């Protein structure tokens, strides 16, 4: 079974979301490459972050750096160092002081914040100084040497990505994705309305009014063109049905004349064969007329019908036909009314074709017609039953089983199915226990 196609709104929303996420990823890559290639800027950003952490951790008198801010220096004694000095050059606190150049502690270098990069036997060394903002004439000196084992530069780069992408851009991307989802759904609402209108179209019935909401010009043109095409198709279909009904109706008189003339012939094998052929032709003409009536059937949704009297009339009308085929009709109905939603003419048309089908295909014997319980009518014959593998084709027009008796056109059950569908009911078939076929006409309950 093929999986249903996803809605167009979902497809467009996903694609726009992927485009937005791709733009975000490209932006992150560009920013990462831009800041990652500027090592000096990353070093200064890392120094500023460490200096701020050290300054925030100053406490006591004389001031010292709290242990929580010294952890990175303790873990990497050969890579990071700091010193806290006053204006006289006295070192008040330090961690890994051997890494701090003596020149960085001179009072002459006390004037401004600065960053210096020098080459040493450990490789590239960065020395920075920062005046403490507390106003006590204190200065922090920071040294980064021997690479970056603590990943301070990576942390600085991540902070740049968060500050320049995550905080300002990600919320905008999320808002755009949400807005796109809403706008796409609203923009495609006319398409959904047009699809619902198209699904409401029924063959042979006038097209329903087009969607009333405002639709784009392209959708309006499509709906208008479709409606015009449907009107032309309905007109052509009505003409075909009318011609078929007119032809069948016109054949009734010649067939009746032929029957009368055959009755005037002397008995014999040839006359009997002609009567059988003419009976089959007459039945085909009746079925074509019934098919036209089924197509033209209009059922009021609120109409109700008592199934019992309709079944009595149908049984009486077909009694002579059944007697001629050696079939006895038996009707069983409750005394109380069996009400259902439907049209009396439609119920009679469906039941007549179903009983006639049972008479012809069930062979000599009995055909039982049972009304109820509930809004249904059951018809059972005692013939050969449903052909093997033919259950799915029984209600197809012009389909006939391999062992079907000659003379039929394969229209009877197709007419039953069309009439039942027009009334909102159904026609079902099963092999009856003990042989034969059992058909059920189900109708909508009158309580609904």
| Phi (first) and psi of residue 431, to 5 degrees | -75, 125
Q: pLDDT for 98-115, tens place per residue?
A: 888 877 777 565 556 888
pLDDT for 391 beyond 70? no
The residue among 215 and 356 whose pLDDT is bigger is: 356
pLDDT at 101: 83
Q: Which of 53-57, 181-185, 250-254, 419-423 has the lowest average pLDDT?
A: 250-254
Pairing of strands 138-145, 304-306: unpaired
pLDDT at 282: 64
pLDDT for 407 beyond 80? no
| This prediction's pTM | 0.45
Beta-sheet strand order (sheet of 339-341) = 304-306, 339-341, 444-445
The 8-class DSSP code of residue 404 comes to P
Query: 417 pLDDT band (50/70/90 cuts)?
Result: confident
Q: pLDDT for 48-62, tens place per residue?
A: 888 888 888 888 878
Mean pLDDT of 267-281: 68
Mean pLDDT of 266-270: 73
pLDDT at 156: 82
pLDDT at 1: 47
pLDDT at 408: 55
pLDDT at 296: 56
pLDDT for 160 beyond 60? yes
Distance CA 317, CA 310 (A): 11
Query: 338 pLDDT band (50/70/90 cuts)?
Result: confident
pLDDT for 171 beyond 50? yes
Mean pLDDT value across the chain: 77
Distance CA 66, CA 72 (A): 12
Q: pLDDT for 2-34, tens place per residue?
A: 667 777 778 888 888 888 888 888 888 887 787
DSSP annotation string for 114-129: EEEEEEETTEEEEEEE
| Phi (first) and psi of residue 335, to 5 degrees | -70, -35
Mean pLDDT of 352-369: 84
The 8-class DSSP code of residue 4 comes to P
The residue among 85 and 265 whose pLDDT is bigger is: 85
The CA–CA distances, whole Å, from 195 to 2, 192, 220 equal 20, 5, 12
pLDDT for 307 beyond 70? yes
């Amino acid at each position: 079974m093929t999986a249903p196609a996803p809605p167009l709104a979902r497809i467009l929303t996903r694609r726009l979301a992927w485009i937005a996420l791709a733009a975000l990823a490209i932006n992150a890559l560009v920013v990462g490459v831009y800041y990652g290639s500027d090592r000096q800027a990353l070093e200064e950003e890392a120094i500023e972050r460490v200096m701020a952490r050290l300054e925030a951790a100053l406490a006591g008198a004389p001031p010292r750096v709290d242990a929580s801010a010294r952890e990175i220096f303790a873990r990497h004694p050969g890579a990071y160092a700091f010193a806290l000095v006053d204006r006289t050059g006295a070192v008040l606190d330090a961690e890994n002081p051997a890494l701090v150049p003596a020149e960085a502690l001179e009072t002459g270098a006390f004037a401004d914040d600065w960053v210096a990069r020098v080459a040493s036997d450990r490789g590239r060394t960065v020395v920075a100084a920062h005046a403490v903002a507390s106003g006590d004439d204190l200065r922090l000196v920071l040294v980064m040497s021997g690479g970056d084992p603590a990943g301070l530069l990576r942390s600085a780069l991540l902070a740049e990505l968060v500050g320049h992408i995550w905080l300002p851009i990600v919320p905008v991307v999320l808002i755009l994705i949400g807005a796109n989802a809403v706008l796409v759904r609203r923009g495609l609402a006319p398409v959904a309305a047009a699809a619902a209108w198209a699904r409401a179209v029924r063959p042979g019935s006038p097209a329903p009014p087009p969607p009333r909401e405002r639709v784009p010009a392209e959708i309006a043109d499509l709906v208008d063109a479709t409606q015009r095409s449907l009107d032309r198709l309905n007109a052509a279909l009505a003409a075909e049905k009318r011609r078929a009904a007119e032809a069948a109706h016109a054949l009734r008189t010649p067939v009746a004349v032929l029957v009368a003339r055959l009755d005037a012939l002397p008995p014999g094998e040839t006359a009997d064969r002609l009567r059988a052929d003419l009976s089959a032709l007459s039945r085909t003409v009746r079925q074509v007329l019934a098919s036209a009536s089924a197509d033209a059937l209009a059922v009021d949704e609120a109409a109700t019908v008592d199934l019992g009297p309709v079944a009595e009339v149908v049984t009486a009308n077909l009694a002579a036909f059944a007697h001629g085929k050696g079939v006895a009709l038996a009707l069983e109905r409750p005394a109380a009314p069996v009400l259902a939603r439907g049209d009396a003419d439609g119920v009679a048309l469906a039941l007549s074709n179903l009983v006639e089908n049972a008479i012809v295909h069930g062979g000599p014997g009995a055909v039982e017609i049972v009304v109820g319980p509930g809004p249904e009518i059951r018809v059972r014959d005692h013939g050969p039953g449903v052909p093997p593998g033919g259950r799915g084709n029984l209600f197809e027009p012009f389909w006939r089983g391999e062992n079907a008796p000659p003379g039929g056109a394969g229209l009877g059950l197709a007419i039953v199915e069309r009439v039942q569908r027009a009334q909102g009911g159904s026609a079902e078939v099963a092999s009856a226990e003990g042989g034969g076929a059992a058909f059920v006409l189900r109708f909508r309950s009158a309580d609904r």
